[in-house]
Amino acid sequence: MLDHAIKTQRALIRPVVAADAEALHAALTWDVVRQLSRVSWPLTLDQVQEFARKAEEETRSGTGWHHAVVVDGTPAGVMSIKPHHGAMNLGYWLAETHWGKGLATEVASAYVADFFAASSDMHLTSGAFSDNEASLRVQEKLGFVVVGEGLLESQALKRQRPHRDTMLGRARWSEGAIAA
C-alpha cells in the first residue's frame, strides 16, 4: 500500500531504511521524545537502529508503513501508519528545527491522502498528549476529531499523561476538511 515515496513542496516522504538511524537519532531530542508515547529516554543509537530495521521490515511486508520525512537530503522525522487496537493509526514526529513552519501539516496531509487513495479503510485514528497543542492542531487541520480522552503511558516520562484520541473518516477527508 504505502511502500513508495511521496513528494511534497518541501519534503520527500520515503520508506525508512536502516541508514536513516543516525540522522533520526540526532533529531530525536528530549523535546521530541517527551511527546511520543512509545519511545523511552534516554534513547540510544542502538534503539533507533532497531526501530529502523523493524520499520524497513514492516513496510516491506505490508504489516505497517514507516516513512522518513526527508528535508534537504536529511531524514528529519517519521510518518507511520500501522494497526493499533483494531484500526489503522497515524503516528508522526518532526525534528525541532522544523516545528512551527507548517511542514507537519504538509507532509501529514500528503501521507493521509495517499493512505485513503491506496486503502479501503473507512477511517484513520491518531492522537496526541493533551499538552501537545501543535500536534493536535495538525490533526484538526486534516479533519481529525477528538473521539476520546484518557491517560496514556509515556515511556520517556515513565508515567501516565492526559491524551486525546482522534479519528478521521474517509467521508470527512473526501469533503476536504483541511483548513489553514
All structural domains of the chain, each given as residue ranges with its CATH number in brackets, are: 6-174 (3.40.630.30)
pLDDT tens digits along 44-103: 999 999 999 999 999 999 999 999 999 999 999 999 999 998 899 999 999 999 999 999
Helix (H) or strand (E) holding 56: helix 45-61
**Is the pLDDT at 169 greater than 80, yes or no?**
yes
User: pTM for this one?
Assistant: 0.93
**Is the pLDDT at 2 greater than 90, yes or no?**
no
Bridge-based pairing state of the strands 87-94 and 6-7: unpaired
The radius of gyration of the chain from alpha carbons, rounded to an integer in Å, stands at: 15
